[in-house]
């Protein structure tokens, strides 16, 4: 679930002293703890890979808090206005309703929007109960994901003259550059005629890439690039394989404009599927669904064998203006 903002990870004590320990940002340790909670709870909630990608770069949300339990992290929550005002994110240990209540109290604290919205994974009853207790109700929105089995043959589907392989040590600058060129907002294939700033650029840089590579579950063998016939990089993706669940999330994947419509996104996905299977994995996951305003990704993933699945329910709380 791509989220773009500037998150600040801090500790937040809840209403119950046992529900959390107030502390300031602790960087990679907090990121790993949040990822490991997601790994334990999968498939109820976030995949730890996408969380690692966003959190390590400081781009999950505007503000992130963590709630400590006796045996480690018991939950995390975030407030973000990235996609719309009042956007909330969070996850909690199912056995800790006290943490869920403290998290929801934090959500409501100094809320700047009269409408609050949060996606809750199917089967996640603890956080759902806490949200309902303060007036959140189900909306009609059912967030989607896409899945396919691991397996296949390396190199399957690669356009003649191209190759898909792991990023090389000497390619750091080129790897950052291919991501930035592929994620330039004005060059993305929007279908709704939206007005995009022609000068807007991806914030991804060498410092962020280094932080990503230090993140739990990052595997250089699953940091892939598509290489064009002239040896320049034409696309890239990272797959985050979690051996605990046997599931790898692809986040992100992109192809530069001049090399689109050549099957490279499909080829990258199929290479991931082969490598994850070889590593003992069983499934691939992508945290997106069909988006009418941006149909190209889901179209490519469908060609690569992914199927859409419902994964969550959106809850909203609207107090009016």
For the domain that residue 226 is a member of, what is the CATH number? 3.40.630.30
DSSP count for the chain of H helices, then E strands: 8, 14
Query: 134 φ, ψ to 5°?
Result: -115, 20
- What residues have CB less than 8 Å from 171, skipping those under 6 apart? 225, 233
Does the residue 62 lie in any domain? yes
Do 90 and 178 lie in a common domain?
no
137 forms bridges with which residues in the sheet? 316
Per the CB < 8 A criterion, the answer to whether 182 and 255 are in contact is: yes
Residue numbers of the domain that contains 14: 9-138
Per the CB < 8 A criterion, the answer to whether 239 and 186 are in contact is: no
Measured distance CA(279)–CA(216) in Å, rounded:
16
Does the residue 115 lie in any domain? yes
Do 123 and 162 lie in a common domain?
no
Do 183 and 252 lie in a common domain?
yes
Do 94 and 206 lie in a common domain?
no
Which of 120, 138, 156 is the endpoint of a domain?
138
What pTM did the predictor assign? 0.91
Measured distance CA(50)–CA(315) in Å, rounded:
22
Do 77 and 123 lie in a common domain?
yes
Count of domains in the chain? 2
- For residue 81, the model assigns a pLDDT of 66
Nearest C-alpha neighbor of 266 from the set 128, 174, 164: 164
Measured distance CA(275)–CA(182) in Å, rounded:
23
Do 123 and 155 lie in a common domain?
no
- For residue 155, the model assigns a pLDDT of 83
Q: What is the DSSP letter of 82?
A: S
CATH of the domain at 125: 3.40.630
Token couple for 301:
């993933």
Measured distance CA(178)–CA(106) in Å, rounded:
39
- What residues have CB less than 8 Å from 110, skipping those under 6 apart? none
19 forms bridges with which residues in the sheet? none
Per the CB < 8 A criterion, the answer to whether 127 and 90 are in contact is: yes
Segments in the chain below pLDDT 50: 1-6, 8-19, 21-25
Measured distance CA(255)–CA(4) in Å, rounded:
19
Token couple for 203:
């914030």
């Amino acid at each position: 679930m791509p989220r773009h903002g500037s998150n600040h990870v801090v500790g937040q004590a809840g209403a119950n002293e046992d529900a959390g320990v107030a502390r300031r940002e602790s960087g990679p340790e907090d990121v790993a703890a949040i990822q490991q909670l997601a790994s334990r709870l999968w498939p109820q909630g976030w995949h730890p890979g996408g969380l690692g990608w966003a959190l390590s770069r400081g781009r999950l949300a505007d503000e992130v808090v963590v709630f400590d339990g006796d045996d480690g992290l018991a939950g995390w929550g975030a407030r973000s206005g990235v996609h719309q005002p009042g956007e909330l994110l969070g996850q909690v240990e199912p056995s800790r309703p006290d943490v869920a209540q403290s998290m929801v109290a934090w959500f409501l604290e100094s809320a700047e929007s009269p409408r609050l919205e949060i996606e809750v994974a199917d089967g996640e009853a603890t956080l759902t109960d806490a949200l309902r207790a303060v007036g959140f109700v189900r909306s009609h929105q059912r967030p989607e994901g896409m899945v396919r089995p691991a397996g296949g043959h390396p190199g399957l589907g690669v356009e003649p003259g191209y190759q898909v392989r792991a990023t090389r040590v000497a390619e750091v600058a080129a790897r950052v550059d291919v991501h930035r060129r592929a994620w330039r907002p004005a060059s993305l294939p929007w279908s709704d005629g939206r007005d995009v700033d022609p000068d807007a650029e991806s914030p991804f840089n060498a410092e962020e890439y280094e932080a990503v590579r230090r993140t739990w579950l990052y595997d250089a063998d699953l940091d892939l690039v598509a290489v064009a016939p002239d040896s320049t990089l034409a696309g890239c993706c990272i797959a985050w394989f979690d051996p605990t669940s046997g599931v790898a999330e692809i986040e992100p994947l992109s192809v530069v404009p001049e090399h689109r419509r050549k099957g490279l996104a499909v080829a990258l996905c199929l290479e991931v599927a082969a490598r994850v299977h070889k590593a003992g994995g069983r499934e691939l996951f992508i945290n997106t669904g069909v988006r009418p305003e941006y149909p190209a990704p889901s179209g490519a993933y469908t060609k690569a064998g992914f199927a859409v699945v419902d994964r969550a329910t959106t809850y909203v709380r609207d107090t009016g203006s």
